[in-house]
Amino acid sequence: MEINEVTSLTREGDIAVLAIDSPPVNALSLAVRKGIIDALKHAQDDAAVKAVVLLCEGRTFIAGADITEFGAAPASPNLYDMQDALLAATKPVVAAVHGSALGGGFETALTCHYRIASPSASFGFPEVHLGLIPGAGGTQRLPRLVGIEKSFQLITSGAPFNAKQALEMGVIDELTGENSLRADAVAFANKIVQDGGPLRKIDDIDDKVVSARGKPEILETLLKDADRKIRAAYTTDYVMRALDAAANLPVAEGLALEHQMFFELMTSEQSAALRHVFFAERQVWKVPGLSADTPARAIGTVGVIGAGTMGGGIAMNFLNAGIPVKIVETNQPALDRGVETIRRNYENTVKKGRLSQEKAEARMALLSPSLQLEDLGDVDLIIEAVFENMDIKKEVFGKLDAIAKPGAILATNTSFLDVDEIAAATSRPQDVLGLHFFSPANVMKLLEIVRGKETDPANVATAMALAKRIGKIGVLVGVCFGFVGNRMLAQQLREMKGLILEGAMPWDVDRVHLEFGFAMGPFSVADLAGLDLGWSRETSTGSTIQEILCEMDRRGQKTGAGYYDYDENRRPQPSPVVEELILDFAAKNGIARRTISDEEILERCVYPMINEGAKILEEGIAIRASDIDVVWANGYGFPRSRGGPMHYADTVGLDHIVARLESYQAKLGEDFQPAPLLKKLATQSKAFNA
């Protein structure tokens, strides 16, 4: 029987199967909530029904509350009404899980009397990634099954766990066959009926929490032992309070506190920003003009030119995905070094227990080192990662044109250069594009996919699909100096260098960035990357602080000193030498230093970046504002809880940004001139991410 457009109820003997079919992930939308309530009522009223199985069609069990509803006016019936209906059922309800039971989906299963799952199913509370805590009973019911310690770990990490672990922890009652969930669930329900199984409510179980009652030291120790990320997360305090309630309060009071804290978090700016990033990271894959029908090419083998840090890291992405890689260098020692580094990286992962020896060897076996560019004649995709110099790149692409098989994709990993000019060095510009990986390339999630003016849409589609296959977030961008990320970064670099001459110190600038939420300040990042990138003693003009630092052999962390002094544990200390150098340099250049406020540091580093983002949007270099946010959140450490630079601008207000830019423009010049799009949106009281 169809209950509504997303729910149905089917009788199988004594058992009613309540099926939800609400693609893509069966989120708990209004229709789903209503459907479940109505279906339960039918099952309840039908004397022939002895028990109910709750399951989902499609690729997954309920993956959570419907996040698109957050922030909008609440619609009735809400999730609690639906859970009340489940809790009030007088016939056993069995949740049968496949795919993922996440967040509100998992919480729905926890209000059922029994839970079973297919072996490939997984469970979890990913709410913390959205700046939330579980808000539909998760913090009160999970501890009643697995205890306070395990709950702390699962809820603060947001990490999923598999069905086997769920069984071991007592979260589920049974594993089903992989392909027989429905039949096994009906059989399970029948058995409950025959055995006269009780209506088992988690709310009535408290032995696992009683042991933590009146012992605040348990949670305190958990927090003390948690890793830095968890200790720093602003949601952790909420989890602590919720778990404390689970241990010490009657379930109804614990639930009430949890609900109140959930709503407090849901209406926070941080959660809105994190939800924005969640949807933005899914939006990037949607490219206007490309559809599922755009033919993508098959990529079975990849060639990488250059076995340095970048080339090696790029190669690892493909090896990890089981794709054979030919890696080419110009001389044997460099090639050996490159292969050795890859091997060492895998060995380290094995040592940390995150990869089996067997898998590491299988990955290395997919790697073919070579000194001959000609060996790349049979691969489907070639990625060039040689020195960042247009003449060298053009020479390489000219050669590749003669070597690569017809239809092979030729990609450059350039960070700044004109991909169209590189493409013009070949007779097949339609097959050329940019694949801009971020260092370390085997770790960083971001991949800027640069579409040249002649790039074939099929190659764009192929690159997007490939990005997904190797676990990257692929953002399609257009050709300009530095693309999206580095073009905006140039604004920040200019200002941070200006600020230290005008009155701030590197550690002031870094502190302001840390307080804003960046994982590292820009001067610490510079020290980590090495101050001598692109610098040489022969060509050094000594005309910037950075050049002088390099000349002093203060080239960053690797030399034990850069903008900071580093101790033997690589802990940074503000450097008196650098302080003096800056003061001297400013004096010699006639710069009168003044006190610079934290507010000015932040505004001058972030607002020009936003302004550049507006130009990037206007020029069509990025498809949408949220793509820029994805670039910054995944490639440059912009705090996700600020939603990326464009979302942040929206929260601050574009009119405010324009006013501040204009004020700096009056004092400091044209670098601060607001972009036309920014001004236009501000005048119309609009936002970038409308």
Question: Could you list the residues that contact ligand 3H9 (CB under 6 A)?
Answer: 24-25, 27, 60, 63-68, 79, 100, 102-104, 107, 126-127, 130, 132, 134-136, 138, 262, 279, 282
Strand blocks (E) in 335-404: 367-370, 381-384
Choose between 263 and 481: whose C-beta lies nearer to ligand 3H9. 263
Q: What is the 3-state secondary structure (H, E, C) of 4-31?
A: ECCEEEEEECCEEEEEECCCCCCCECHH
Q: Active site includes 107?
A: yes
Write down the catalytic residue from 57, 127, 174, 384. Answer: 127
CB of 266 to ligand 3H9, least distance (A): 8
CB of 447 to ligand 3H9, least distance (A): 17
- For residue 12 the two structure tokens come to 């199988």
Choose between 157 and 491: whose C-beta lies nearer to ligand 3H9. 157
Q: Which of 127, 135, 136 is nearest to 156 (CA)?
A: 127
CB of 137 to ligand 3H9, least distance (A): 8
Omega before residue 143 within 30° of 0, cis? no
Contact (Cβ atoms closer than 8 angstroms) between residue 155 and residue 139: yes
Q: Active site includes 358?
A: no
CB of 206 to ligand 3H9, least distance (A): 21
Choose between 110 and 582: whose C-beta lies nearer to ligand 3H9. 110
Strand blocks (E) in 68-149: 93-97, 100-102, 114-117, 122-124
Query: What does the DSSP 8-state code read for residue 451?
Result: E
Q: Which of 413, 514, 476 is nearest to 620 (CA)?
A: 476
CA dist 242 to 93, 138, 441, 519, 561, Å? 27, 10, 39, 27, 45
CB of 67 to ligand 3H9, least distance (A): 4
Q: What Rg, from alpha-carbon coordinates, does the chain have?
A: 29
Choose between 127 and 495: whose C-beta lies nearer to ligand 3H9. 127
Choose between 262 and 437: whose C-beta lies nearer to ligand 3H9. 262
Residues 6+ apart with CB under 8 A from 32: 6, 7, 20, 22, 26, 62, 66
Residues 6+ apart with CB under 8 A from 641: 131, 234, 270, 273, 274, 517
CB of 105 to ligand 3H9, least distance (A): 7
Write down the catalytic residue from 2, 57, 69, 107. Answer: 107
Choose between 123 and 397: whose C-beta lies nearer to ligand 3H9. 123
Rounded to the nearest 10 degrees, how much is the dihedral formed by the CA atoms of 409, 413, 415, 417?
-50
Choose between 3 and 155: whose C-beta lies nearer to ligand 3H9. 155
CB of 323 to ligand 3H9, least distance (A): 20
Distance, in Å, from the CA atom of 153 to the CA atom of 78, rounded to the nearest integer, reads 28
Choose between 666 and 690: whose C-beta lies nearer to ligand 3H9. 690
CB of 66 to ligand 3H9, least distance (A): 5
Strands 367-370 and 325-328: parallel
Phi then psi for residue 560, to 5 deg, are 80, 0
* Apex 447 CA angle, 443 and 450, nearest 5: 155
Provide the annotated active-site residues: 107, 127
